[in-house]
Amino acid sequence: MSIGSLTISVVVPVYGSESSLDELVARVVATLEPFAEFEVLLVNDGSPDASWKQICAIAEREPHVRGLSLNRNYGQHNALLAGVRHARYDVIVTMDDDLQHRPEQIPALIDLLTDDVDLVYGYPENERHSIARNFLSRATKLTLGASIGSDVAEHISAFRAFRTVLRDGFTGVQDPFLSLDVLLSWTTNHTVAVAVPMDERRHGESTYSSAALVRYALNLITGFSTLPLRLVTYVGFGFALFGMLTLTYVLVTYVIHGGVSSPGFPFLASLISILSGAQLFAIGIIGEYIGRMHYRTMNRPPYLVRRTTPIPTNEPMQP
């Protein structure tokens, strides 16, 4: 793509990162200066520190920066959706606020947006988390792959570049439990991934805990896939077959031993426990789906913008 005519919107969800914003914005602006037009949207996701005050101060002195402040903490993907819907330019780049994603790698992602590619992911060359965290991360990506049916799911990350037109495919989404990657998978399968170097987090600690990863995986698998329901069906068939085999065993034993049935209580108690556990498992999964349906019928908004910084008068109002 021609740098001279390309316009870029960089969307950064912000939570507890007031100490890293100055350096982040400075590096993004320096990297994007060769492009025709660009903007940096900093979305304050109910941050408990002075991040919004810092965003306002940066926006006052840097004309390329715009700030959005959400009414409360909605979550990373909800904040990303808010920024994506407010972006005004041809290509949207998303990245984290902790300086692990190098702004200098943005052109490497944009270069891969050819006529045949609409979405590019930049995944880390080396994972920098603990073994347990890496395991949960890989499990979450497998879950995401089951939700979107894409081979690229293994390399999905928060460092993305995609054509802004893709957002037209999910303009009506009002789901409080959303995934930007799933929404993007609805609009294109022209996706590639590239390994990029990433840095250690230098300020604060990640709020994306192992428990948060598990919750996100559960939201993915029950909110955007019928795989658990299919699993329940398989479990039902499996235990029906098990029951038939058990009945056959009991009848054969009865015939062989001349009318004496097989010893009863331990066998029967074990069988009842297994079948009861399978039933409760199935009811739990169905309950998760009903809960998701209940939340969606409530029409809860995925986010609410409380404040914005002014748009420069020499900038276009819409993309």
Model pLDDT for residues 215-227, shown as the tens digit of each residue: 656 666 665 566 6
Residue 165 has what DSSP assignment? G
Choice among 20-34, 85-99, 187-201, 294-308 with the minimum mean pLDDT:
294-308
User: Is residue 4 helix, strand or coil?
Assistant: helix
Provide the pLDDT for residue 319: 46
Q: Which amino acid is at 316?
A: P
Closest CA to 221 of 140, 128, 115: 140
User: What is the average pLDDT across 3-23?
Assistant: 89
**Structure-model confidence comparison of residues 204 and 59, the more confident one:** 59
The answer to whether residue 19 scores a pLDDT higher than 80 is: yes
Closest CA to 140 of 189, 91, 77, 88: 77
User: What is the average pLDDT across 295-305?
Assistant: 79
DSSP codes joined into one string, 90-108: SEEEE--SSS-B-GGGHHH
Residue holding tokens 């930007």? 180
Q: Kindly state the tokens that stand for 239.
A: 């235990």
The answer to whether residue 131 scores a pLDDT higher than 80 is: no
Q: Other CB atoms closer than 10 Å to residue 316's CB: what's the count?
A: 11
Percent with pLDDT over 70 in the chain: 71
**176 touches 302 (CB < 8 A):** yes
User: What is the average pLDDT across 84-88?
Assistant: 95
Residue 309 has what DSSP assignment? P
